Copies of this chain bind each other. A is one copy, B any other.
Amino acid sequence: MSNSFGSRFRFTIFGQSHAPAIGVTIEGLPAGFVPDMEKLGAFLARRAPGSGKYTTTRKEADVPEFVSGLVDGHTCGAPVTAIIRNTNTRSGDYENLIRVPRPGHADFAAAVKYGPNRDVAGGGQFSGRLTAPLCIAGGLALQLLEEEGISVTGRILSIGGETEPAAIEKLLADVKEKGDSVGGVIQCVCEGVPAGVGEPMFGGVENRIAQAVFAIPAVKGVEFGAGFQAAAMRGSQNNDPFYFDELGVVRTRTNNHGGALGGITSGMPVVFRAAFKPTPSIAMEQDSVDLTAHENVKLSVQGRHDPCIVLRAVPCVEAAAAAAIYDLLLEGRY
């Protein structure tokens, strides 16, 4: 039971891929905040399907309707709820999905956890579609952070191990043609976060960002600053020396710590990377099991799929980070 995140900026995500709607309820938005709906729409559009050559062709307008919490366009102190109608649903036959779990998907785990009553259509509550409400909550957090001079910016570091645009383009064309898929790494930089944000132990910046980012389907690793590279370094290399900059502000000459020391921000940019596995839905034939017939079978996943989910995941990573940071910012205030 953890469709909720946050303590002071707290939101609860609901919905399934093919339910009437998906959405989010946000508590903790200050009264009087005027969400920039155009900006939010543009933000949501970055994760929307159908926006590129290598993304699924499922069409979803994904325009949120704000059903509570706003009066004349500004927040009023009541929880803000936004819903997005699922318009393109339940057309298929899900018999096969019930019987044969797709490798790399939550299908089998969900079958064990929820039994025959689970929602299999489109991945149910485990669908990547649930990142849309995450982006609504995070998109609003981004706007509130911006008012505090804080920016959160993600970018793709690599796709399928490739870092050069030409090589990436070639790789994507190749996997698309073969009915295969690739993963990638997204780096996110949060600038302007003041020093002193974060709570001790389980409430550190790293704990909370990691908890949020792992909610994005396909994320298999999160690292801060030098991350796994730090494990191969010596203390004298990895320790970031402090100094006073020309404005008298304490800074570090390097940022191997990724902006967090002891879980608390240092004033340096918070930098982290998230590793995405390849989209598990591939057209290529795979081995799986028939849970009803109790036998090993072959499976080829049909339908609309992204050969590389990473292309659409950048705003999701930004949203998760923004939500975690804004929540901690509020938590640190008295």
Contacts and interface: CB of A to CB of B under 8 A. Distances in A.
Main secondary structure of the interface of A (DSSP, over half): mixed
B203 A81 contact: no
A103 B228 contact: no
Contacts of A210: 207, 210-211, 214, 222
Report, as a range, how many residues of chain A touch the other chain.
35 or more
A215 B202 CA distance: 5
Given A183-B233, A221-B227, A284-B236, A119 B32 contact: no
A62 interface: no
A195 B280 contact: no
A296 B76 contact: no
A165 to B, nearest CB: 17
Contact of A110 (B22, B180, B225, B264): B264
A315 interface: no
Given A4-B202, A203-B1, A228-B275, A109 B196 contact: yes
A113 B69 contact: no
A233 B1 contact: no
A298 B252 CA distance: 14
A153 interface: no
Given A2-B207, A20-B66, A233-B183, A240 B76 contact: no
A28 interface: yes
A12 B15 contact: no
27 contacts: A2-B200, A3-B200, A12-B12, A14-B25, A14-B78, A15-B81, A21-B67, A23-B81, A30-B334, A31-B114, A31-B117, A71-B119, A78-B119, A79-B125, A103-B239, A108-B261, A109-B264, A113-B196, A161-B233, A183-B233, A202-B215, A210-B214, A221-B223, A221-B230, A228-B275, A231-B275, A233-B277
A-B complex: 5 closest residue pairs judged by Cβ atoms: A2-B203, A106-B262, A221-B223, A161-B232, A109-B264
